Structure 1
Amino acid sequence: MLLLKNEENSNKKRVFADRKRTNILSAPEERTIFYLVKKVPGFITSNMLTGIGIAGSVIVLIGFILANYVDRSFLLLGVIGLVINWLGDSLDGRIAYYRNQPRKWFGFSLDIIMDWIGTVLIGLGYLVYSQNEYELLAFIFVVLYGWAMIISQLRYKITDNYTIDSGLFGPTEVRILIALILVLEVAFPDSIKVCGLVMCLALFIIDLIDTNKLLKLGDMRDQAEMAAKRSI
């Protein structure tokens, strides 16, 4: 029994070895992901899961379009799309590590590109659904989320430690907030305008804080490298 437990812990460490999570839901999320990677059929590859994640973003887009042209209740389709997006995006890299078949740099590159495409699709959906000046929020959301993605890549470059979270908030928390906004919009029409504005404001503040931290990290590395050169 102890041997099996040690093997389980070793497998779990391998699955999450390439990144550090700091988000609020990191512990239950990791437990859920580790449970799911063991249940995924062998014929489903990491790339297929990446495709499933993008399909989730497409479903969110379709939900916005149908909500605009057919009925607002189709926004709930977007909630399903966000769940599918989380499933594919969370499992694609983890299953590669679980199967001991990681393609670190290929997977890293593909993941970043697909995350950006997914963000654009969701922003486009909000653009279709929004009206008048609130259409600008879709553009602002995509820009701010893209800013956060750039920060994460630069932080990786400077520190050699990869994290996709901004402190206590990460992509999972953002998905949950978007899902709640969609549900609220169905129950309380036009609430998405205020919620979208608040969310963009929160992202802007988080990006500013993370940019300041990033610049400090860059300065610290510069100082360390200059000290190392002087000591030669």
Structure 2
Amino acid sequence: MTHQPHQNPASLSRIQQNVLASSERRLLTWLCSRMPSWVTPDILTALGMVGALAIFVGYAASLFSVEWLWIALAGYVLQWFGDSMDGSLARYRHIERPSYGYFIDHSCDGLANFLILAGMGISPFVRLDVALVALVAYLLLSIHAFLSARVLGELKLSYMAAGPTELRLMLIVLTLMMMALGSKPGLFGAISGFDVFVGTVAFILILLFIAQTLVTGKRLAIREKHAR
């Protein structure tokens, strides 16, 4: 087995081309400049996970009352704040721990997305199997991002001009529609409009994984051919 050189997370090129990237960056910088000194990146990471847990509870408890979805909506805001601010604050204060931060951040992202989609699958709005397919699609795209970081030194944070923030906004709108429409019988038997939406997003993510795998594979083949 050939040993490949270790890719230092600090040297990764972050590729973030989502629509809200520049506006969000200005907002995060403004928030960082006003953050109390006792607030640390680790605290913000934990806060983001509390938000993810709130989303899970809100969706799961909507089995009993649609009003619980307000907890999920609040959870999205909290999860965005913690997840977006932890790395931003570390960079703002120049206290980055690249390997630790990379490992903890992406581990928490995986767990947070599991909680969100599991909660959605437990809710009366989205079938569990559809939610789990969406989770697999997310994990496939994550695998591609981590492999690209390893072999190309590029960490891709957005696809099709959309990143985590745009996805959260999409899910917030979906949750508001759940509150407005309720868990009515599906348009196609057991399949609801919410199932169709989540399933379509999952299908798009899987197609992106396949397309990005082909593109990256071609880049690597050309680069290694020229390196001979």
Please name the residue that 1:38 is paired with: 33
Aligned to 2:179: 186
> Does the CA contact (< 8 Å) of 2:133 and 2:202 recur in 1?
yes
Matches within 5 A, 1:40-189: 40-68=35-63, 70-130=64-124, 134-189=127-182
- CA contact 2:76–2:172 (8 Å) conserved in 1: yes
CA distance in 2, matches of 1:72, 1:66: 8
Q: Distance in 2 between matches of 1:150 and 1:42?
A: 35
Instruction: Provide structure 1 residue ranges, at least 5 long, that are not aligned to the other structure.
Output: 1-16, 227-232
Which residue of the partner structure matches residue 215 of structure 1?
A: 217
More displaced, 167-176 or 211-220? 211-220
Unaligned regions of 5+ residues in structure 2, if any? 1-11, 184-192
Q: Which runs of 4+ in 1 moved over 4 A?
A: none
1:199 maps to which residue?
201
The amino acid of 2:80's aligned partner reads W
- Name the CA distance, whole Å, in 2 between partners of 1:72 and 1:202: 29
In 1, are the aligned partners of 2:140 and 2:206 still within 8 Å (CA)? no
Q: Distance in 2 between matches of 1:53 and 1:75?
A: 18
Aligned identity (percent) is: 23
Aligned AA for 1:125?
G
Q: 1 or 2, which has the higher helix percentage?
A: 1
1:23 to 18, 25, 45: 18
* C-alpha displacement of 1:171: 1.1
Provide closer, same or farther for how the CA distance between residues 189 and 220 of structure 1 changes in structure 2, counting only shifts above 3 A: farther
> What CA RMSD, in Å, does the superposition of the two structures yield over aligned residues?
1.8
Amino acid in structure 1 at the alignment position of 2:227: E
Q: TM-score, normalised by structure 2?
A: 0.85
- Call closer, same or farther: CA 1:76–1:198 in 2, change over 3 Å: farther
CA gap 1:220/1:130 in 2 versus in 1, 3 angstroms: farther
How far is 1:157 from its partner? 1.5
Amino acid in structure 2 at the alignment position of 1:50: T
Aligned mates of 2:212, 2:71 — CA distance in 1: 33
